[in-house]
């Protein structure tokens, strides 16, 4: 799919970065109207879920397991929920994934399939617009590292932007046509929001 506004490879999500727990930022898309009780359930579950996976597999409706729970937490982080975090890829989760796909140009994939590009788009939606570089730390770095791992790159998720993260960012930048300076600024953020460049390896 072609991305919106600026040329980038992968899935284009022409929206601002959304907030993750503790990171701030504007939500991606509009949250559906829910009662306070309904909204509170996924919030409590999301707080306890594991968002960092050793690998981010392709998921489809009907799948179950920890990776689906991570997907559901990521959807809530991206502001596309709330969805219940129950580890079961049902209709509610599919609606949120399809909503993200419809935020791209071209014919959206309405199957609900979550591939590497969709993982990167959803995870990076929780990034703030803060510029990240060697020496940066905190929640935004954790989200960046998860997104790069979802892209298929080998990286430690520890919240510290060190030499390894800088090297992996440069690999991502080269693959997406950006200057490989190891600094995550607006153009690299756009590439992340656009789903990167398929599955990479370093």
For 150-166, what is each residue's pLDDT tens digit?
999 999 999 999 999 99
| Selected residue with higher pLDDT from 61 and 106 | 61
pTM assigned to the model: 0.75
Instruction: Write the CATH number of the domain with boundaries 36-193.
Output: 1.10.101.10
Domain boundaries along the sequence of the chain: 36-193
pLDDT at 3: 38
Euclidean distance between CA atoms 77 and 29, whole angstroms: 12
Which pLDDT value is given to residue 198? 64
Lookup result for tokens 């199957």: 111
120-141: per-residue pLDDT in tens?
999 999 999 999 999 999 999 9
Altogether, the residues listed in the chain come to a count of: 202
Residue 2, by phi and psi: left (phi above 0), alpha (psi -120 to 50) or beta?
beta
- Three-state DSSP at 187 gives helix
């Amino acid at each position: 799919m072609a991305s919106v506004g600026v040329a980038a490879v992968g899935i284009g999500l022409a929206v601002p970065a959304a907030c993750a727990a503790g990171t701030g930022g504007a939500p991606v898309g509009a949250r559906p109207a829910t009662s306070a009780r309904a909204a509170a359930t996924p919030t409590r579950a999301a707080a306890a879920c594991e968002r960092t996976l050793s690998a981010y597999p392709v998921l489809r409706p009907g799948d179950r397991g920890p990776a689906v729970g991570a997907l559901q937490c990521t959807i809530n982080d991206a502001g596309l929920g709330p969805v219940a975090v129950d580890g079961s890829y049902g209709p509610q989760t599919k609606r949120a994934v399809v909503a993200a796909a419809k935020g791209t140009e071209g014919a959206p994939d309405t199957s609900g399939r979550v591939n590497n590009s969709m993982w990167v788009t959803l995870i990076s939606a929780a990034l703030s617009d803060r510029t990240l570089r060697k020496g940066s730390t905190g929640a935004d770095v954790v989200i960046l590292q998860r997104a790069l791992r979802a892209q298929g790159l080998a990286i430690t998720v520890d919240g510290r932007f060190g030499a390894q993260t800088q090297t992996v960012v440069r690999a991502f930048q080269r693959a997406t046509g950006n200057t490989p300076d190891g600094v995550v600024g607006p153009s690299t953020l756009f590439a992340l929001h656009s789903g990167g460049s398929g599955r990479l390896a370093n």
